[in-house]
Amino acid sequence: MQNSLIHHIKQFISLEPSDIDKLESCLEISKIKKKEHILKEGQICNTMYFVVKGCMRQYIINPKGAEQTLQFGIENWWITDYLSYHNHIPSNFYLQAIENSEVIAIDKTVLESLLIEIPNLERYFRIVMQKSFGAMQMRIKFLFTMSAEERYHHFNDHFPEFVQRVPQYMLASYLDFSAEFMSKIRAGKV
Amino acid sequence: MQNSLIHHIKQFISLEPSDIDKLESCLEISKIKKKEHILKEGQICNTMYFVVKGCMRQYIINPKGAEQTLQFGIENWWITDYLSYHNHIPSNFYLQAIENSEVIAIDKTVLESLLIEIPNLERYFRIVMQKSFGAMQMRIKFLFTMSAEERYHHFNDHFPEFVQRVPQYMLASYLDFSAEFMSKIRAGKV
DNA sequence: TCAAAAACTTGAACTACTTCAAGAAATTCA
DNA sequence: TGAATTTCTTGAAGTAGTTCAAGTTTTTGA
């Protein structure tokens, strides 16, 4: 079974066999147990994570002390704190596994040299980032224009399998409403 | 005076003189009058816009018929609908000048061939997109954790000159509250 | 320069959500 | 397996915002 990251990359660019060798020599899968953190607030994030299997989340602890999930990362998604990664500053976020997961962790220095050795890889990341940014623009649109109930139904319609996969209270905070309100939406009590 | 886009690119990567020539032959500045649209909902967005001078915004018309500003683009920012651009699908957004502006419009086909001719340009866009995505992650954090009043003060503290530059009602909708509420915040009546 | 248009303000009534508290159900793992 | 933990539910009370409508101020452009 081929490395799933290489498979993902090939969907966007073509790779020479020698490039694949280089990549494979740098990549290894690490297992992250459910609830384990790969980044905590205040740490500098020097790593990009590609989710091979399982599910990760990015969250914060808000001023009231409650956890708030800002992003999920499932199979074939990259997850990191891009600002901390890019500017080498302490992170605002936690990154945590919400299922037993497998990720490919690429250290910034390793990635920098890979990008120099395989220039075409810049193209891959450019495309992936543009797609992610586009998705984020749509997310802002949904947050701004839909009611809590509409956001829940919209998400549920588009990602029904995913809704089964994560605790409701995490999905509620991702959609920016309270767990209690989620319960009432689901019960039709709104 | 050098093309401000080339100046911007040079902050991230180095360019051969021949690359600069290639670039300059492809780029021209076009003037957009205040209130003029460069993209409307339903159109396919085939162009990326680099703001040389002035200010653009991305907005939608929400289900109640009101305009809602989702993003601003000032000098040295790229603005486009990335999802429409990337997937060649109709846009959800409007792109409009809110000051008399000058932009460099790069057509997708032109950009694609530039990226092939100047591979290093992929790196530039990859970096710019990663920075933008990081900024978007922070924006989600602020939207999720701060009250309307906190968002206003936070924005005002960080971008005081910009606050002077755009109509308050546009800023209010960008910060996700009503123009009337903005008025009350400013008057200290909350 | 001044009429029209755009932007801002105000208060009163309303509402979509939050918070709290407590119990019930489901899941985990020793 | 069953005790502990995590997750979900419910209702009552509260609140951070919206909406509406009308008036005022500022800006624009012929």
- Residue A81: per-residue pLDDT: 97
**pLDDT of residue A190 exceeding 90:** no
List CB-based contacts (under 7 A) with strand C. A 34, 64, 147-149, 176-178, 180-181, 184, 190; B 167-169, 179-180, 182-184, 186-187, 189
**pLDDT of residue B1 exceeding 70:** no
A115 touches chain B (CB under 8 A): yes
**Interface contact flag, A137 B60, Cβ < 8 Å:** no
In whole angstroms, give the CA distance from residue B70 to residue B173: 7
Average pLDDT over residues B156-161: 96
Please state, for a pLDDT cut of 70, what percent of chain A lies above it: 99
Confidence band for A115, pLDDT divided at 50, 70 and 90? very high
Q: Which chain B residues have a beta carbon less than 8 Å from that of A133?
A: 82, 129, 132-133, 136
A26 touches chain B (CB under 8 A): no
- Residue B190: per-residue pLDDT: 80
Q: How far is the CA of B77 from the C1' of D17 (A)?
A: 32
- Residue A139: CB atoms within 10 Å: 16
Spatial strand order of the sheet with A94-97 comes to A37-39, A94-97, A55-61, A67-74
Confidence band for B24, pLDDT divided at 50, 70 and 90? very high
**Interface contact flag, A133 B92, Cβ < 8 Å:** no
Confidence band for A175, pLDDT divided at 50, 70 and 90? very high
In whole angstroms, give the CA distance from residue B88 to residue A116: 30
Please state, for a pLDDT cut of 90, what percent of chain B lies above it: 95
In whole angstroms, give the CA distance from residue A25 to residue B139: 37
Q: How far is the CA of A154 from the C1' of D7 (A)?
A: 23
**pLDDT of residue B59 exceeding 90:** yes
pTM: 0.95
DSSP string covering chain B? ---HHHHHHHTTS---HHHHHHHHHH--EEEE-TT-EEE-TTSB--EEEEEEES-EEEEEE-TTS-EEEEEEE-TT-EE--HHHHHHT-B-S-EEEESSSEEEEEEEHHHHHHHHHH-THHHHHHHHHHHHHHHHHHHHHHHHHHS-HHHHHHHHHHH-HHHHHHS-HHHHHHHTTS-HHHHHHHHTT--
Q: How far is the CA of A30 from the C1' of D2 (A)?
A: 34
Query: Between A158 and B64, whose confidence is greater?
Result: A158
Confidence band for A2, pLDDT divided at 50, 70 and 90? low
- Residue A92: per-residue pLDDT: 95
pLDDT tens column, B90-146: 999 999 999 999 999 999 999 999 999 999 999 999 999 999 999 999 999 999 999
- Residue B2: per-residue pLDDT: 66
**Interface contact flag, B126 A125, Cβ < 8 Å:** yes
- Residue B3: per-residue pLDDT: 87
**Interface contact flag, A126 B129, Cβ < 8 Å:** yes
Averaged pLDDT score across all residues of chain B? 96
- Helical axes A179-186 vs A148-158, angle rounded to 10°: 70
